Amino acid sequence: MDDQQVLLGISRSDMLARIERCGRDPAMLDLGSNMLLHFAYEYLPDPPVSPTAPLSLAGASWVPDGVDRISRLPDELLRDIISRLPAKDAARTAALASRWRPLWRSAPLTLVDSHLLPDGGASGPLIIGAPSPRAVTGAVSSALAAHPGPFSCVHFTCSTMDEHRGEMAHWVDTLVAKGVQDLVFVNRPWPIDLRLPATLFSCASLTRLYLGVWTLPGTTAVPRGASFPNLRELGLCMTVMEDRALAFLLERSPVLEFLLIMWSQTGARLRLVSHSLRCLQLGYTHLKDIEVVDAPRLERLFLRNVSLPGTGKFTINSPSRIKIGGAPNLRVLGYIQPGQTELGISNTVIVAGSKENIVPSVQILAIDVQFGIRNAVKKVPGFLRCFPKLETLHVYSPPIPEKSTGKVNLKFWEEGGPMKCMVQSMKKVFFYEFQGSRSEVAFLKFIAERGRVLELMVVVVAKACFSSVDDDVNVKLKPLTGAKWSSKACKLQIIESPRTDVAGPLCRHNIVSDFGWADPFDLRYYYKAERISVSYS
């Protein structure tokens, strides 16, 4: 049993007693909770309203003719104004004039519990580990009771639900009855496996749902006929779930387009069957198997530190098993670790050079390669051959370990056999956190000398390359800049990385799900960094 599973079902008081018996500081528990919830909060969407937003007329001290023209606007427009205010401000509009008094009760309301804190949520969520103020719980209950609905958006993130189980269950019943559309519902541990009320599964009005630190109810507890007919976005953060519960969610969400699973607490099998899903994000997730069975609209598959069953670890090198079957429109895939990720196509594990095991639809690929570990680099050629129509390649190079297990030179790549994508389709290459090793230079030089249609190569040089006065980036890159480039039109850009603390690929989960970004891995953040002068002679 791994460390995560040990925590399930244990109360806060029992965990504190356990820590004290081991002679450790009880404050470690709050520190651990802080770390866990930090990840959950990071992946939650922001509320659409803010109590700290500036008012455009805040400085106005007069009205030219003293006439209240705003109150003369149609009811529909005034309700729209009210629905864009935090709940407390929306209720206060009733004091403006008799014209406004009935309007807030008929306007779709946005209710964010952190806005009910003394500072209005200006400092963010509560200090993790501290008990939530009962005044907030009471205010939430009052707001839900006073407003007849609908609730366009509700964010509950700062209440310890175990301390308010009765109120929490009533909140869910009320939200279902009053037609909540956008719901973020997070339990603040402990316990970290509190069971989510099954009545939530009968909320047909939901269009977006994010759940954090809950145990999903078993399918037998869910009301018969329950479904999410309008749900387009689903986020599961630090949840405990059975295989069937996850499959049930997908089955009952016929228009779901975006699915996020982060920090799942227990192992589950994801067997993806969805005719609507366009984007799947998985990360820090203890999944036994990931199998894309039938997902004809899936365009993006993003993975981050997916763990191997049985290890209970979430290191950057954690292997995972992924099978890609019915995903004919998959365009974007990453971050993948060749040699660490067992990738299957049509239920067959990829074998280098096999013509049958290819993903012809993928155009943008992001990989994580340990260039200081020979066995990891050896997997790259066979891996790239699986993507014959690849146009853009993103490569993240983690810090090379002190005990390197072998270097790879240019001869290795030349003897590795042809890679169709490199010769015929690859137009852009982005190489992040370049360390200056010969293995990295050999890889980049091989691409430069084989890429016939290459248009752009961007090399982001790690801060570590500038740690010594003897280090000269120009010298380290000279084999690349002096190479016989196959594409004379290709531009080489050398950029100094702005990152000082590198703990993995720089990627933004909200960009991955934003289809306005054609390439979600092409981070403009790097382009703002300092350009390095490179000599080509």
CA geometry: angle at 63 spanning 60 and 66, to 5°? 150
pLDDT of residue 18: 74
55-97 pLDDT tens trace? 544 444 555 666 667 777 887 888 888 888 888 888 888 777 7
Q: Tell whether the model's pLDDT for residue 411 goes beyond 90.
A: no
pLDDT of residue 342: 62
pLDDT of residue 77: 87
Percent of the chain clearing pLDDT 90 (strictly above) = 26
pLDDT of residue 471: 59
pLDDT of residue 516: 86
Instruction: Name 495's bridge partners.
Output: 460, 531
According to DSSP H, which parts of 147-255 are helical?
A: 165-177, 243-251
Judge whether 214 and 194 are in contact, CB under 8 Å. Answer: yes
- Model confidence at 314, pLDDT cuts 50, 70, 90, reads very low
CA gap 302, 522 in Å, rounded: 14
Give the type of residue at 183.
L
HEC states along 299-311? CEEEEECCCCCCC
Instruction: Give yes or no for a cis peptide into 517 (omega within 30° of 0).
Output: no
DSSP percent split of the chain into helix, strand, coil, nearest 5: 30, 20, 50
Q: Tell whether the model's pLDDT for residue 324 goes beyond 70.
A: yes
pLDDT of residue 344: 61
CA gap 236, 264 in Å, rounded: 8
Query: CA–CA distance from 292 to each of 240, 301, 341 (Å)?
Result: 21, 10, 15
- Model confidence at 280, pLDDT cuts 50, 70, 90, reads very high
- The domain ranges of the chain are 74-107, 330-536
pLDDT of residue 37: 73
- Model confidence at 307, pLDDT cuts 50, 70, 90, reads very low
Find the range with the poorest average confidence among 97-101, 292-296, 433-437, 517-521: 97-101
- Model confidence at 260, pLDDT cuts 50, 70, 90, reads very high
pLDDT of residue 355: 45
Identify which of 240, 297, 291 has the alpha carbon closest to the alpha carbon of residue 265: 240
pLDDT of residue 179: 92
Query: CA–CA distance from 280 to each of 181, 262, 460 (Å)?
Result: 21, 11, 28
Average of per-residue pLDDT across 409-413: 84
Q: Tell whether the model's pLDDT for residue 464 goes beyond 60.
A: yes
pLDDT of residue 336: 84
135-177 pLDDT tens trace? 788 888 888 998 888 889 999 988 778 778 888 899 999 999 9
Q: Per the structure block, which two tokens stand in for 19?
A: 């820590």
Judged by DSSP in three states, 296 sits in: coil
Q: Tell whether the model's pLDDT for residue 403 goes beyond 60.
A: yes
Among 98-102, 260-264, 422-426, 514-518, which range has the highest average pLDDT?
Answer: 422-426
Average of per-residue pLDDT across 497-504: 76
Residue 530 burial class via C-beta count within 10 angstroms: exposed 0-12, middle 13-18, buried 19 and up: exposed
Identify which of 502, 521, 528, 524 has the alpha carbon closest to the alpha carbon of residue 393: 521
Q: Tell whether the model's pLDDT for residue 352 goes beyond 50.
A: no
pLDDT of residue 245: 83
Helix (H) or strand (E) holding 424: helix 420-424
Q: Tell whether the model's pLDDT for residue 446 goes beyond 90.
A: yes
More confident residue, 4 or 106: 106
Q: Tell whether the model's pLDDT for residue 178 goes beyond 70.
A: yes
472-496 pLDDT tens trace? 777 888 888 888 999 999 999 888 8
Q: Tell whether the model's pLDDT for residue 49 goes beyond 80.
A: yes
Q: Tell whether the model's pLDDT for residue 402 goes beyond 70.
A: no
CA gap 73, 368 in Å, rounded: 57
More confident residue, 197 or 106: 197
pLDDT of residue 529: 59
Hey, what long-range contacts does 438-442 have (CB within 8 A, 24 or more apart)? 438/407, 438/409, 439/371, 439/372, 439/377, 439/407, 439/408, 439/409, 440/371, 440/397, 441/476, 441/477, 441/479, 441/480, 442/408, 442/409, 442/410, 442/412, 442/413, 442/479
Average of per-residue pLDDT across 242-270: 84
Among 49-63, 116-130, 356-370, which range has the highest average pLDDT?
Answer: 356-370
pLDDT of residue 320: 57
pLDDT of residue 308: 37
pLDDT of residue 23: 78
pLDDT of residue 506: 75
Find the range with the poorest average confidence among 277-291, 309-323, 481-495: 309-323
Average of per-residue pLDDT across 211-226: 85
pLDDT of residue 8: 47
Q: Per the structure block, which two tokens stand in for 237?
A: 């953060």
pLDDT of residue 311: 39
Average of per-residue pLDDT across 32-56: 74
- Model confidence at 31, pLDDT cuts 50, 70, 90, reads low
Q: What is the mean pLDDT of the chain?
A: 79
